[in-house]
Structure 1
Amino acid sequence: MSKKSLAEIAKEMAGIDIAILSTHAENGEIANRPMSNNGDVAYDGTSYYFTYENTRSISDIQRNANVALGFSSQAGLFAEGIYIAVEGTAELIRDKTAFHRHWTNDLDKWFDNGVDTPGIVLIKVVADRATYWKGREEGEVEL
């Protein structure tokens, strides 16, 4: 198994906006949902996602903060895509100062009052482990 640095993988991930966030549901099953990192695609091992307080993802994280993220880039006819699996720990942030640091105008279509939208929460996921697959190459990321 080969090893790539986080910087090498971050270059490969540039432009990937959608991740699949996996949490542990109340019944022990795995729950998955697509999440946008809202164009904040410079990856340093930490990801941020906005959602509402009353979602299943929030109740799942409150019960068990161990989560997974799945990323994939578009593979074209002659280009190889990359697939990245991240295991990490989620933290729920309710601080408007942090909201402002990660806010983009694209979020306005989902949250009517911007960072003042009632019930908004920022999910922060810090990677503990990451693996990747690109063509025939696979390996771990040095975090």
Structure 2
Amino acid sequence: MAEKTEQEKRETVKELVKDARICMLTTMTADGKHVSRPMAVQDVEFDGDLWFFAYGDSDLVAQIGANPQVNVSFSDSKQKAWISISGEAMRADAPKKAEELWSPALKAWFPEGLETPGLTLVKVHADTAEYWDAAHSSTVLTMIGYAKAAVTGKQPDAGENETVRM
């Protein structure tokens, strides 16, 4: 298999993010502890930025204000794909962008829609992404590979694993 170019790797990340809607967004507290919470990525083509709706007075917004370095991880076990994106987060009070990203499903968390008091956006600009994509190997082949690795002591082939500068 030929080595992928950086652009091809970025395209793979883009496709994997598109398919995985829910992620875990990890921030750091003031006392240095990591905190992860499930978040829904807004349905917009991934261009290196991820967008989330949040309340302006939430712990999430306070934590990124103090330490903007975050990690966003996706897991899609059906597709056998995993992505870890490291980047910098910021609060983005951008009404036009919020209008563009809004979907009716968000009313479950923000009952007054775009008029919900304290509604804001969080933008994560990706610096790097690492992904594991085993979609092209069957479960049986993967299990055989793990069994073989256990016997031989060699690492199993778990599919494609790349780190990409965004």
Q: Does 1:18 align with 2:22?
A: yes
Q: Which runs of 5+ in 2 are unaligned?
A: 135-157
Is the helix fraction higher in 1 or 2? Answer: 2
1: CA distance between counterparts of 2:165 and 2:49? 14
- Structure-2 residue corresponding to 1:70: 73
The count of aligned residue pairs is 138
Give the letter aligned to residue 110 of structure 1. Answer: W
Is the strand fraction higher in 1 or 2? Answer: 1
Does the CA-based 8 Å contact 1:15-1:41 persist in structure 2?
A: no
- Structure-1 residue corresponding to 2:111: 112
Q: TM-score, normalised by structure 1?
A: 0.87
What SS is found at the alignment partner of 2:19? Answer: coil
- Structure-1 residue corresponding to 2:99: 100
Alignment RMSD (CA, Å): 1.8
Q: How does 1:1-143 map to 2 (within 5 A)?
A: 4-38=8-42, 40=43, 42-75=45-78, 80-135=79-134, 136=158, 137-143=160-166
Give the letter aligned to residue 87 of structure 1. Answer: S
**C-alpha displacement of 1:118:** 0.5
The sequence identity of aligned pairs, in percent, is 28
Q: Which runs of 5+ in 1 are unaligned?
A: none
Residues 75-99 of structure 1: per-residue CA shift (max 9 Å, x gap): 3xxxx51111000011101221121
What SS is found at the alignment partner of 1:54? Answer: coil
- Higher Rg: 2
- Structure 1 stretch 9-18 or stretch 21-30: which is displaced more? 9-18
Give the letter aligned to residue 81 of structure 1. Answer: K
